[in-house]
Amino acid sequence: MSQDDALLCVQRHATSKISSVDDLEKIITYGFRGEALASIAAVSQLEIKTRREEDQLATYIRFSDSNELLVEKVAFQKGTSVTVKNLFYNVPARRNFLKSNTTELKHIIETFKRVSLSHPEISFKFYNDDDLLFDFAAGSLLDRMKSVFADNIDEALLEVEEVTDYITLTGYVTKPNYLRKSKGDQYFFLNKRYVINKTINHAVFSAFENILEKGDYPFFVLFMEVDPKKVDVNVHPSKLEVKFDDEREIYAFVHAVVRKTIGSYDLVPQVTLDDNGTTEQKLRPQNFRNIDKYDFSDRPAVERETKKYNEEDLRRLFHLDDEINAASAPQSAPHPFESRPLQKEVTHRFESTQEKESETPFIVLLHNKYILSQIKSGLMIIDAHVAHERILYEQALNSFNANIPFSQHLLFPQVVDMDPADYELTKELEPYLTNLGFTLKFKPKYRVEIIGIPSDLKTEHEVDTLLDIIHEYRKNQQEKILDVKDNLAKSYSCKAAIKAGDKLDEKEMRILVDKLFATSMPYVCPHGRPIIIKIPIEEFDKRFGRT
């Protein structure tokens, strides 16, 4: 700064952050009122040294004991240094409210980390009693996070990046196995300003859905760029709180982007058998392997062969040549042995099909509960019930949003006798049940006639399923699941999914696995139970003495 600016910067309401009234509508700086340096100078011994590149000497200003502003010219490097000593020395009542040195140092370090994270392109150093505690070199955000948190933090991170014309969200969220027990490890920067916003935090938490157990919090460092005119930073003097013009839209955007990020990585945990010398062995989730975005190669193979047919193939496929030959050939009884060449061709086709199937990774159903499938790294185990639950849950949510019901009408409508409470609740939920595929008619004396059911529902269980859905919905209400659509989707998926003990053939299992991995969150069911685990081939080798 020049000497004039240095003398002016410690005066109240002197600021270089705004130059016109319009700037008040688009504040992108940390401050704008011109109160910070003036307030600090009023309660401490403040010294400022500053020199521009074209100046020979630096300007040095400080306040005397009588609060007189002193100005000197001194030798100093290019830049500005602000020194604050004896904070609250002249306000003893306020000074008594300070915590211990350790506690205050912790607060200062936390503030230092926030500022250094917001500007990774700037180098930062932190001294405490002449001891250098932190020395952060300029670099990328990931480099700065390694300096602030841990060198190997990149192993626990998923990169978030979504750029639109209106809003941009970048940064990192943690993998599910690196969840924290502390709320203090969430860093959200709005236009490079650190803020605390419950809406954003909840959007991130809900994006992790039921991966979070009670007491777990995801670690994240997120940067949002948005038009400053759409944000109010004057909610609180500390400017840690902000208010958005459309909080619902911001919430939906953050939730969708973080959820998409989690779904873009293969986050199925590997498990190993804990051999601690006892007969009891437990399945213990291990760290997720490092994978690239959209790398789903370590999953059951799905056959989607698209065969192209030429004109000759099409003629054979639809038996056009046979029809022509049959029309032109004389009508006579076939010879008994003329079918042998055809039998040979069928046998050849069967053998080639069998050979093709042998190359396909196996898939089996264990005790009518678990689907076992070969994958690149070993064995994948899928809980069939919760996998189907996840599929139906997302289908239900999509049905609510699309508002296009698909229903299969029953040949013989079913009548359900309900108690008055269930009858009224069913009547209240009818629009949502209709979107799911139910077609209901309400009769006198608390009777409900089921005319149509969702296409995924088995026809012999429609009455029990409807009652179970209503009872599950009521139970979820008591557990504080307040959103009607989410509650009903969870209730429907829980009661309409295949049950343990239901037999599936190979085709049904492959379709179930295929649909599972097409969902946005194939790792946990809507109620938080794990769907998939992997056992690496190395674990089998160890158990069979191959290592």
188 and 171 Cβ atoms separated by less than 8 Å: no
> Is 86 part of any domain?
yes
pLDDT at 322: 53
293 and 159 Cβ atoms separated by less than 8 Å: yes
Among 95, 128, 162, residue at a domain's last position:
95
Give CA–CA dist 219/179, Å, rounded: 6
> Is 87 part of any domain?
yes
132-145: pLDDT as tens digits = 999 999 999 999 99
Sheet of 79-85: strand order equals 69-74, 58-63, 45-51, 79-85
- Residue 115 gets the label, from left (phi > 0), alpha (psi -120 to 50) or beta, of alpha
How many domains does the chain fold into?
Answer: 3
Q: How many Å separate Cα 402 from the centre of its chain?
A: 23
pLDDT at 387: 92
181 and 217 Cβ atoms separated by less than 8 Å: yes
403 and 259 in a common domain:
no
> Is 37 part of any domain?
yes
507 and 459 in a common domain:
yes
Give CA–CA dist 392/229, Å, rounded: 41
Residue 174, Cβ density class (10 Å: 0-12 exposed, 13-18 middle, ≥19 buried): buried
E runs forming strands in 283-423:
283-285, 363-366, 370-375, 378-383, 407-417
Among 263, 292, 308, residue at a domain's last position:
263
Q: Which residues span the domain enclosing 524?
A: 266-300+360-547
Among 381-395, 405-419, 440-454, which is the least confidently predicted range? 405-419
211 and 83 in a common domain:
no
527 and 418 in a common domain:
yes
pLDDT at 162: 92
292-330: pLDDT as tens digits = 676 676 777 655 544 555 556 555 555 555 544 554 444
pLDDT at 125: 92
> Is 220 part of any domain?
yes
202 and 296 in a common domain:
no
| Domain CATH number, residue 212 | 3.30.230.10
Give CA–CA dist 420/398, Å, rounded: 30
> Is 320 part of any domain?
no
pLDDT at 80: 93
Q: Which range has the top average pLDDT, 103-117, 168-182, 231-245, 390-404?
A: 103-117
Question: Can you tell me the mean pLDDT for 224-242?
Answer: 78
| Domain CATH number, residue 391 | 3.30.1540.20
pLDDT at 266 over 90: no
146-179: pLDDT as tens digits = 999 888 888 888 899 999 988 999 999 988 766 6
Give CA–CA dist 136/208, Å, rounded: 31
399 and 517 in a common domain:
yes
